[in-house]
């Protein structure tokens, strides 16, 4: 197959159809190619996974850089 992005997804699907793929198979293959090129299937690194987790904690309100001092005892233990 020629360069996918030079011909475009529609022409690529038509060429796949000419090669014997069904309409549904050709559409799924071109959709898969678009998603792969976009980076949807890239493996996450441990560092990236930690950043996603930190973002989740901040967005859910479970982590903040603001300290509520009223809930802490002077000896450093959390008050009940």
Per-residue pLDDT reduced to its tens digit, 20-55: 999 999 999 999 999 998 888 888 788 889 999 999
15 in any annotated domain: yes
As given in the structure block, the two tokens for residue 10 are 């529609």
Please give the tally of structural domains in the chain. Answer: 1
68 in any annotated domain: no
The conformational region for residue 22 under phi > 0 = left, psi -120 to 50 = alpha, else beta, is: beta
70 in any annotated domain: no
Q: Could you give the CA distance from residue 67 to residue 33 in angstroms, rounded to a whole number?
A: 47
38 in any annotated domain: yes
pTM confidence score:
0.51
79 in any annotated domain: no
For residues 74 and 19, the model is more confident at 19
Q: Is residue 76 scored above 60 in pLDDT?
A: no
Contacts of 21 by beta carbon, 8 Å cutoff, 6+ apart = 29
Report pLDDT for 25.
Answer: 95
Domain hosting 42: range is 4-59
Residue 77 CB-density burial (10 A; 0-12 exposed, 13-18 middle, 19+ buried): exposed
23 in any annotated domain: yes
Distance of CA 65 to the CA centre of its chain: 26
35 in any annotated domain: yes
Closest CA to 12 of 50, 25, 65, 78: 25
């Amino acid at each position: 197959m020629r360069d996918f992005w030079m011909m475009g997804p529609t022409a690529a699907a038509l060429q796949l159809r000419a090669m014997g793929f069904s309409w549904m198979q050709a559409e799924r293959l071109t959709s898969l190619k678009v998603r792969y090129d976009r980076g949807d299937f890239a493996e996450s690194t441990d560092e990236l996974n930690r950043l996603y987790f930190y973002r989740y904690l901040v967005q859910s309100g479970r982590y903040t850089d603001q300290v509520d001092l009223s809930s802490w005892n002077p000896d450093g233990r959390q008050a009940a």
